[in-house]
Structure formats: C-alpha cells, structure tokens
C-alpha cells in the first residue's frame, strides 16, 4: 500500500482589511486589547501551571501520542504552545499576529492534526485562564475580552481546516470522475513467491488511478472514502475487474482481486463479476481476497458470495488474517484456499517474540486445515530469513518484488 502525501504550499496571507473585518465581526476593540494586555503578567506567571495539566489532557488523544513521540519534538511543542499562549495577551493584534496563526493552522492541516484535537485543546486553555482570572478577581469585561481573542484564534484555525478540506475534496472528486470518464484505471500487480522454489507463483492485482490530465499515478487507498461517498466506487471496481481479467486471460499465472464488503454486498456488482467470470477462459486461476474484518459486517452475505465464486471454479483467500475479528468457526465454514497472514504480524517478526509466537500458531492451524499460507509484508532480508524457516507456503512483499503495471507482463 503506497502513501500519498499532501504537498506543502505557501501559507495564505491575511491582508489589513481581512484583519479589520475579523475584529469587527467579534466586536473586538482597542479596549479589549488593553484589557488583555493587563492580563499578560498573570498569564506569564501561570504558564508553568498551564503546561502540566495541558499535556496530561492532550495525551489522552491517540494522535498526540503519535505526533509528540520524542522528547525533542515535545520540547519544541511546549515552547510553541507557551509563545502562542502569551501572545494571546500581547495587546497587539495586527497582520503579523494573524499571519503567524495562519502558519500554525496550515501546519496542523499538513500533518493531519484532527480538528477535534484543536477544539479540545482550546477548550482546556479557555477553562484554565477563566478559572485563574476569577480567582484573581478580574472583572467581567476582561473575561469577555479573553473569550473574544480565543474565539478569533479558533475561528482562524477552523477556517483553515474547512478551506483545506473542501479544496482537497473537490480535487479528489474531479480526479475520480476524470479517471472513470477516461477509463484510466491501471491494474498494478505484485508477485507472490512460492517459498520452496523462490519462483513467482501468482500475482495480486492492486488498483491505481492514472490522472488523464498529467499522467500521474496514485494508489486508490487515499481516495476510497470519497469514491464511496460520491458513488463512484462501483464504477471504478468494475473497470478494475474488467481490465485485470483482460490482461490475465492470455497469461499463465493465477491472480487475485481484492473485494470489500461494499463489493460483496452489492447485488449489481456481484452480477457483473459473475458475467465476467463466465467470459474468462480459466476461472480456476482467479482468486478473490476478502478481508478477515469484513466477516463482522454480515457473514452470511460474504459466505454466499464466496460459494457463488467457488461454483465457477474460482479460489478464495482470507486477507489480513490475525487481525482478530473473525472466529475460527467462520474460517472453517468458508473453507478458504489461502490464508494471508496479517502484515502487521510479519513486519516485525524478526525482533518481536509475540508476533513470532502468533504466526507460528496461525501456521500450525493452517496446516491442520490443509489450507495454504501466504506471508505479506516481507520487506527486508531479516524478515525473509525468519518466514522462510516457518514453513509458510508463499511470500509477498517489497523485498521480493514491488508492484508494477500489470500490462508489463504482456510485453515481457
């Protein structure tokens, strides 16, 4: 699975009239600025009290634990938070002040900081300073001024998220529609190696989107949610199935297609797949991969679909096995031909005794069921050595072969 990163871009600059309009909207006056400036000494003295409680609070969010994962990053973040907090009470709220906020907000967007995380952090700061001011007998007008500047800060951050998300959504939808209209779905394939011989045994087909405007190629994964929400996903999947079968109909290798619960539960799509299978010369070379987690949606629907596919001679693989959702009873009912061990277990198997123990258990079970096993995410030599010694039937991963355009197989 490849990752697509949001490109960096220059932060939007607020002009003087934008600042004036923002302040007028909140009825923020020179009197508010003067009141906030008078709160500055209290804010500065309270900063050492703010930070411990603030970080206890935000570390309850999983994203904070991921983002602030080292003492160096945490130290820089603490410094930035302290400066931002004191600037609330600087008394100067001009273009420079608001453009600094813009830079902060757009940085948050680029690193994928969830908006609810920002809102919760603001809520904590607001409660902290209000409680502190009441304890020190500040007047109601000063409290109102503090709320105004916090609301203005939050507004700018939220605006950046909304604009960024809206623009990204529009661009994603345009790309998806262009791909569907021009038919520029590109099946990529990744080789699956037979452990005993070291030779390619089969291929997994992976969907890529080719932008007809500039020729750039993208993984489908970052666009899946949008494609489903705007009802373009089914059309993309039909193209993927058609193109993959067309490429492999004259080739000797088996190949697998990944299907989600949305595919399996869609009667129209199921009928489409059935028609395509009947047109394919060797249905026994088609393998349908279904995620283990999809069983929790509706096991009967999944089971019924796989029975239909098996009646054509197709094979079945359970993907990401070991992610822990399905019961062994369901696995036995499905009678899969292959079980693909979850990549998170293989990824660190060379240094994780827990992963090694789990994989050994899976392999033992698979052999008893007389099902063939596949280890995904074989990404380096150390992992390769470990899995080769475990009796796994097939191997897949970047160490053995990266995905490439499927039509290259025809040229070769």
152 and 193 inside one domain: no
Is residue 267 assigned to a domain? yes
What one-character DSSP code corresponds to residue 296? G
Domain end marker among 147, 170, 193: 170
Let me know the angle formed at the C-alpha of 86 by 81 and 91, rounded to the nearest 5 degrees.
Answer: 140
269 and 403 inside one domain: yes
Q: What is the pLDDT of residues 297-353, one digit of tens each?
A: 678 888 899 999 999 999 999 998 876 555 566 777 788 999 999 898 999 999 999
Domain end marker among 144, 170, 196: 170
Query: What angle, rounded to 10 degrees, do the helices at 115-135 and 30-58 form?
Result: 120
267 and 378 inside one domain: yes
Q: How far apart are CA 324 and CA 131, in angstroms?
A: 46
Query: What angle, rounded to 10 degrees, do the helices at 140-182 and 30-58 form?
Result: 60
Q: What is the pLDDT of residues 237-250, one digit of tens each?
A: 999 999 999 999 99
Estimate to the nearest angstrom the gap between the alpha carbon of 265 and the chain centroid. 23
Estimate to the nearest angstrom the gap between the alpha carbon of 102 and the chain centroid. 25
Total residues belonging to the chain: 412
166 and 187 inside one domain: no
Is residue 207 assigned to a domain? yes
Which residue range(s) make up the domain with 209?
Answer: 183-411
Domain end marker among 170, 203, 238: 170
What does residue 93 show for φ and ψ, rounded to 5 degrees? -130, 80
165 and 205 inside one domain: no
Q: How far apart are CA 71 and CA 324, in angstroms?
A: 33
SS3 content of the chain, % helix, strand, coil (to 5): 60, 15, 25
218 and 160 inside one domain: no
Lowest mean pLDDT among 94-108, 222-236, 316-330, 374-388: 316-330
262 and 374 inside one domain: yes
Residue with tokens 């909207």: 25
150 and 197 inside one domain: no
Strands 185-194 and 394-395 turn out to be: antiparallel
191 and 325 inside one domain: yes
As a whole number, the mean pLDDT across the chain is 87
81 and 143 inside one domain: yes
Tally of structural domains, the chain: 2
Is residue 9 assigned to a domain? no
CATH of the domain at 395: 3.20.20.450
What one-character DSSP code corresponds to residue 15? P
5, 168 in Cβ contact below 8 A? no
Is residue 5 assigned to a domain? no
CATH of the domain at 78: 1.10.490.10
Q: Minimal CA–CA distance to 394: which of 191, 189, 187?
A: 191
Is residue 293 assigned to a domain? yes
104 and 245 inside one domain: no
323, 342 in Cβ contact below 8 A? yes
Q: How far apart are CA 5 and CA 2, in angstroms?
A: 10
What does pTM read for this prediction? 0.64
């Amino acid at each position: 699975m490849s990752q697509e990163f949001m490109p960096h871009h220059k932060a939007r600059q607020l002009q003087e009239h934008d600042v004036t309009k923002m302040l007028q909207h909140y009825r923020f006056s020179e009197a508010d600025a003067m009141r906030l400036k008078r709160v500055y000494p209290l804010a500065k003295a309270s900063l050492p009290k703010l930070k411990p409680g603030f970080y206890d609070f935000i570390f309850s969010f999983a994203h904070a634990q991921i983002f602030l994962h080292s003492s160096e990053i945490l130290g820089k973040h603490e410094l930035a938070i302290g400066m931002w907090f004191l600037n609330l009470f600087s008394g100067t709220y001009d273009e420079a002040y608001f453009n600094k906020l813009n830079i902060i907000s757009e940085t948050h967007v680029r690193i994928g900081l969830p908006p609810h995380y920002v809102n919760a952090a603001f809520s904590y700061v607001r409660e902290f300073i209000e409680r502190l001011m009441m304890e020190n007998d500040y007047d109601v007008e000063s409290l109102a001024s503090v709320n105004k500047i916090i609301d203005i800060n939050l507004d700018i951050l939220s605006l950046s998220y909304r604009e960024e998300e809206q623009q990204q959504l529009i661009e994603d939808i345009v790309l998806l529609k262009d791909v569907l209209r021009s038919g520029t779905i590109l099946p990529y394939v990744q080789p699956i190696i037979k452990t005993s011989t070291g030779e390619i045994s089969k291929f997994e087909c992976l969907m890529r989107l080719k932008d007809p405007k500039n020729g750039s190629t993208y993984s489908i994964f970052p666009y899946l949610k949008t494609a489903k929400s705007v009802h373009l996903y089914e059309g993309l999947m039909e193209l993927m199935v058609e193109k993959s079968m067309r490429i492999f109909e004259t080739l000797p290798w088996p190949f697998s297609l990944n299907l989600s619960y949305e595919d399996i539960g869609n009667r129209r799509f199921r009928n489409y797949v059935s028609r395509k299978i009947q047109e394919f010369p060797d249905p026994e070379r088609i393998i349908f991969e279904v995620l283990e987690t999809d069983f929790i949606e509706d096991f009967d629907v999944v089971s019924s679909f796989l029975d239909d596919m098996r009646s054509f001679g197709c094979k079945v693989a359970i993907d990401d096995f070991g992610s822990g959702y399905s019961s062994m009873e369901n696995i036995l009912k499905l009678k899969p031909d292959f079980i693909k061990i979850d990549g998170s277990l293989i990824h660190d198997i060379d240094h994780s005794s827990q992963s090694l123990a789990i994989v050994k258990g899976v392999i033992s079970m698979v052999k008893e069921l007389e099902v063939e096993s596949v280890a995904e995410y074989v990404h380096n030599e150390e992992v390769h050595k470990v899995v080769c010694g475990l009796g796994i039937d097939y191997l897949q991963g970047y160490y053995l072969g990266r995905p490439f355009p499927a039509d290259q197989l025809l040229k070769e």
